[in-house]
Amino acid sequence: MKVPELSKADQDRIAQAGIDLAMGNRCGSYLQMDQDIVQAECSQQGIEVLSFKKAMEKYDGMKEYTWKAVSPDKDDITRYVAAQKEPKGYVIIAHKGSNNILPIQACLYLGREQIQHVHNIIVAEEGAELHIISGCTSGAHVGKGGAHYGISEFFVKKDAKISFTMIHNWSENIEVYPRSASIVDDNGVFLSNYVCMQPVKKIQMYPTATLRGINTVARFSSVVISTPGSYMDLGSRAILEGKGASAELITRAITKGGTIISRGHINGKTAGTRGHLECKGLILNDGIIYAIPEIEGSVVGTELSHEAAVGKLARDEIEYLMSRGLDEDEATATIIRGFLDVKIAGLPEALQRQIDASIDVAEKAGF
């Protein structure tokens, strides 16, 4: 199916979500517009990008993976997606030992008033390394609004690595309910990065990584700005089951008048596990940042920590930059830009640049 004609405004919105329709610096692409799958391809040897339907046909129902990380009975969202007769979404499989230097992009575009539903399965087989950028956006003129229900199940096999960078660029009338979970086997690494700099009506998500293998690693980072009218209930959870498992959950949250609930939970179930949770919030205009960091240890030998801070921009920092010749707006923007600058260890440069670029857009618009 051909990519439909898009207005310049919509093309820009897709680009701001980190998606390159010209496929520059991308090795594969999945594009779903509303419920139509318009692109599912990958040029990288050893990696497949398939529609959910095609993957089910090719791999006999993907029995090993389907609804194995996320329970179909988890809540109304999962039940809704599980009940679909024609499930949509993508399946990406990085076969044993494969590696993509250029990331695969997955674009979920909501163009009409409706519920867009997807069920995605992402697998990195033994020794594989898979990098994905997922851009989720809505058309510039989605009338009364819409909703996105997204199930994503990740499987990081032995010695494998997945990085998943999700950039949201919705609008103030869209509700978004991702339901994601990952299962990580021995020596596996799972990196999840989330960026949302634009308005959204409501988003609720709490992705979970179960580190069941030995010496596994999970790193979650979230960088979000909440504008007036946006309600963002965000969290991430790591369950440390394998000996030597470690997790780091980092959030930078700014409210300009919206609400951010920043949850986090690390559960250390085995000796020799480590976890750290960090949430820093800035209140630029009256709004709500409600940080709920939870650490739970149940054995001797798990080491968990958390830090959370919510505050305002420090006057002495602003004036320090002003004394170097920056005006107040420039100084403020420079400090906020630094606050949001989270570098993710192990993330390819191209993806880090994409994250930086989407924060740059917000900076240019004046945070």
Write down the least CB distance from residue 323 to other proteins, Å: 5
144 binds other proteins (CB under 8 A): no
Query: What does the block give as tokens for 2?
Result: 């051909």
Write down the least CB distance from residue 281 to other proteins, Å: 13
Give the residue with the Cβ less far from other proteins, 261 or 322.
322
284 binds other proteins (CB under 8 A): no
Q: Whole-angstrom Cα distance, residue 367 to residue 359?
A: 9
Nearest Cα residue to 347 out of 127, 164, 96, 152: 164
306 binds other proteins (CB under 8 A): no
356 binds other proteins (CB under 8 A): no
Q: Binding string, 178-207, against other proteins, x = CB under 8 A?
A: ------------------------------
Q: Whole-angstrom Cα distance, residue 287 to residue 225?
A: 11
Segment interacting with other proteins, rule: CB under 8 A, options 2-10, 101-109, 148-156, 337-345: 337-345
* Interactions with other proteins, residue window 22-61 (CB under 8 A): none
Write down the least CB distance from residue 321 to other proteins, Å: 7
Write down the least CB distance from residue 218 to other proteins, Å: 22
Segment interacting with other proteins, rule: CB under 8 A, options 127-135, 174-182, 209-217, 324-332: 324-332
Q: Whole-angstrom Cα distance, residue 296 to residue 309?
A: 20
- The residue with tokens 């898009």 is 6
223 binds other proteins (CB under 8 A): no
Q: Whole-angstrom Cα distance, residue 68 to residue 70?
A: 6
Q: Binding string, 254-283, against other proteins, x = CB under 8 A?
A: --------------------------x---
Task: Name the phi and psi angles at 207, rounded to 5.
Answer: -60, 145
357 binds other proteins (CB under 8 A): no
322 binds other proteins (CB under 8 A): yes
Q: Which of 321, 350, 357, 361 binds other proteins (CB under 8 A)?
A: 321
Question: How many C-beta atoms surround the C-beta of residue 60 within 10 A?
Answer: 9
Contact 192, 236 (CB under 8 A): yes
Q: Which of 2, 315, 349, 364 binds other proteins (CB under 8 A)?
A: 315
345 binds other proteins (CB under 8 A): no
Nearest Cα residue to 339 out of 365, 319, 311, 364: 311
Write down the least CB distance from residue 250 to other proteins, Å: 11
Query: What does the block give as tokens for 123?
Result: 């697998």
310 binds other proteins (CB under 8 A): no
Q: Whole-angstrom Cα distance, residue 39 to residue 35?
A: 12
Question: How many C-beta atoms surround the C-beta of residue 244 within 10 A?
Answer: 18
Contact 227, 200 (CB under 8 A): no
Q: Which of 95, 243, 337, 353 binds other proteins (CB under 8 A)?
A: 337
Q: H or E stretch including 328?
A: helix 328-340
CA of 249: how far to CAs of 2, 5, 93, 184, in Å? Answer: 39, 40, 26, 16
331 binds other proteins (CB under 8 A): yes
325 binds other proteins (CB under 8 A): yes
Question: How many C-beta atoms surround the C-beta of residue 366 within 10 A?
Answer: 8
Count of residues interacting with other proteins (CB under 8 A): 25
339 binds other proteins (CB under 8 A): yes
Write down the least CB distance from residue 340 to other proteins, Å: 7
314 binds other proteins (CB under 8 A): yes
Q: Which residues contact 234 (CB under 8 A, 6 or more apart)?
A: 194, 203, 204, 205, 206, 222, 224, 251, 260, 261, 262, 263
Q: Which of 64, 75, 307, 341 binds other proteins (CB under 8 A)?
A: 341
- The residue with tokens 């409501």 is 202
Binding residues for other proteins, per CB under 8 A?
Answer: 280, 314-317, 319-328, 330-331, 334-335, 337-342
